[in-house]
Amino acid sequence: MDLMKEHEMFMRRAIEMAAKGMNSNAGGPFGAVVVKDGEIIAEGHNKVTSTNDPTAHAEMVVIREACQKLDSFQLTDCIIYTSCEPCPMCLGAIYWARPKAVFYGCDKADAKAIDFDDQFIYDELDKDMEDRQIGFKQMLRDEAVEVFDNWASKNDKTKY
């Protein structure tokens, strides 16, 4: 199969998962799959409302499942296909998981058109802490940073 056809096949599966999640009332209309070496190793959809988990976006669901299956905290050499451009949370998770590529179907303008607008989170990033919608205040840094100092000198840590 030529490469573009393969990408289309996996994206269609992500879109199918989006429809499946929506039709079963699991959550919003978002689906994703993780592929390694031409095979799907995880597939899923948004489960926010059915599991009371605000982090259960499709990408988070499949990253967790794929990492469990690979017994790894990284998605080395994996490709994520997601039915919609990732939100800031999933974007961060994708960077931490380090797949080699991401393909997306709908974009954030499409999501905004059906009332899934994540632009406000991007806007928050540009604001000072005290100007954000949710209050952030720093405290007890001296005590908290002691753990960091101990991490820096810890000999048996797993780096990532």
Residues with active-site annotation: 59
111 binds Zn ion (CB under 5 A): no
Name the residue nearer to Zn ion (CB basis): 9 or 64.
64
90 contacts 121 by C-beta, under 8 angstroms: no
**How far is 160 from 157, CA to CA, in rounded Å?**
9
Q: What are the tokens at 51? A: 């599991």
Rule CB under 5 A: choose which of 14, 78, 90, 97 binds Zn ion.
90
Name the nearest CA neighbour of 43 among 35, 54, 51: 35
Name the residue nearer to Zn ion (CB basis): 41 or 62.
62
56 binds Zn ion (CB under 5 A): no
Helix/strand number for the chain, H first, E second: 7, 4
Stretch near Zn ion under the rule CB under 5 A, chosen from 4-12, 57-65, 143-151, 152-160: 57-65
57 binds Zn ion (CB under 5 A): yes
The amino acid that residue 96 corresponds to is: W
The least distance separating Zn ion from the CB of residue 113, rounded to whole angstroms, comes to 17
Rule CB under 5 A: choose which of 34, 87, 94, 106 binds Zn ion.
87
**How far is 60 from 100, CA to CA, in rounded Å?**
16
Q: Which residues bind Zn ion (CB under 5 A)?
A: 57, 87, 89-90
